[in-house]
Amino acid sequence: MNTALKSDACAASRLSVAPMMDWTDRHCRYFHRLLSREALLYTEMVTAPALVRGGAVHLLEHDPAEHPVALQLGGSDPAELAEAARLGAAAGYDEINLNCGCPSDRVQSGTFGAVLMNAPERVAECCAAMIGAQPREVTVKCRIGVDEQVPEEVLPRFLEAVAAAGVRRVAIHARKAWLQGLSPKENRDVPPLDYDLVVAMKAAFPGLHISINGGIATLDAARALLARGLDGAMVGRAAYHEPAAILLPADAAIFGRASEMTAEDAALAMLPYIERHLAGEGGRLIQVTRHMLGLFAGRPGARAWRRHLSENGTRPGAGPEVVEAALALVRQAGSQAA
């Protein structure tokens, strides 16, 4: 195993931004990397069949600036996942993660995601194949259980299985997933959080690096969970909707490395990236700026920023000048509020 790459991703996972379908694409990750140089970033879930059978290797495209960055895979066939992991390693990802937590119907129909909580031996077989196929670290993201399972019983068995396969790092979403009766959105909010169980798993499996996910809305909340002995905190929607509040202070607060980046700096730093994207075939401004809408959340001018980007980012020929004009509105609002 390439220990340097393993060390980079492992250290960065002290704080990570969760893989989120339709959100954490390469434009989002580039933007988030400007806000935090240290946090671990994840791709959206990419299915192994799409890569191996469909030849959709374009889904692995990413900017070198995104590192450390992990590829999340979906699948349940060991040979197919092994090949997908090999492709991900060849593309340069620092970590290969197996999704055992997504509850969507589409994922279930492919025997991906949270339904795999019912098959820990299968997950172990998949992980062993992925580990054997390539040099990057293989990790797992899971739930505490599904449906009528008793988390206190099923989660230890699941962790035992993946650890025996060679997995050393797991991210646990501290909620059950209900595969029938709740939508994916409801599965992010309705099942109660059980942080205590995840903390107990760290005590029971001291050799596993365990990150906690689910309901972490502030950087202070992440720090409080780390203080309970967990190895990492994975933040999802809060990092997307309020990226400056979560990611700008993270390098200093979580990693002890000061950063002078500001939200305004990040907006300006996106301009060359936007120009490169627009110069590519079919690139559109909204593909990038939709991820930037929450940059000034909670600050004077935040609404004007969102409105200007939303209303003008889709028009033909829209370019960096739209972001510059939106930033001018934020500055104007800040001056008026001072």
The token pair that represents 12 in the structure block: 């960065």
Active-site residue numbers? 102
Phi, psi dihedrals of residue 41, rounded to the nearest 5°: -110, 150
Cα separation, 129 vs 133, whole angstroms: 6
Name the β-bridge partners of 157: none
Q: In 3D, which of 21, 4, 60, 14 has the Cα closest to residue 36?
A: 14
Cα separation, 201 vs 198, whole angstroms: 5
Cα separation, 233 vs 13, whole angstroms: 7
Position 110 scores a pLDDT of 63
Cα separation, 176 vs 165, whole angstroms: 23
CA atoms within 13 A on the CB side of 62: 28
pLDDT tens by residue, the chain, 338 residues: 333 344 489 999 999 999 999 999 999 999 999 999 999 999 999 999 999 999 999 999 999 999 999 999 999 999 999 999 999 999 999 999 999 998 876 655 567 889 999 999 999 999 999 999 999 999 999 999 999 999 999 999 999 999 999 999 999 999 999 887 777 777 777 788 999 999 999 999 999 999 999 999 999 999 999 999 999 999 999 999 999 999 999 999 999 998 899 999 999 999 999 999 999 878 999 999 999 999 999 999 999 999 999 999 999 999 999 999 999 999 999 998 87
Report the sign of the C-alpha dihedral through residues 301, 303, 306, 307, in that order: negative
List, in order, residues 6 or more apart from 177 with CB less than 8 Å away.
Answer: 101, 103, 114, 117, 143, 145, 146, 147, 187, 191
The token pair that represents 67 in the structure block: 């590192």
CB 62 within 8 A of CB 25: no
Position 2 scores a pLDDT of 36
Can you give the pTM of this predicted structure? Answer: 0.94
Cα separation, 104 vs 113, whole angstroms: 8
CB 173 within 8 A of CB 143: yes
Q: Within the chain, where are the H helices?
A: 3-12, 26-35, 48-52, 78-90, 105-109, 120-133, 151-164, 184-187, 195-204, 219-227, 237-241, 243-247, 250-253, 263-279, 286-289, 302-312, 320-337
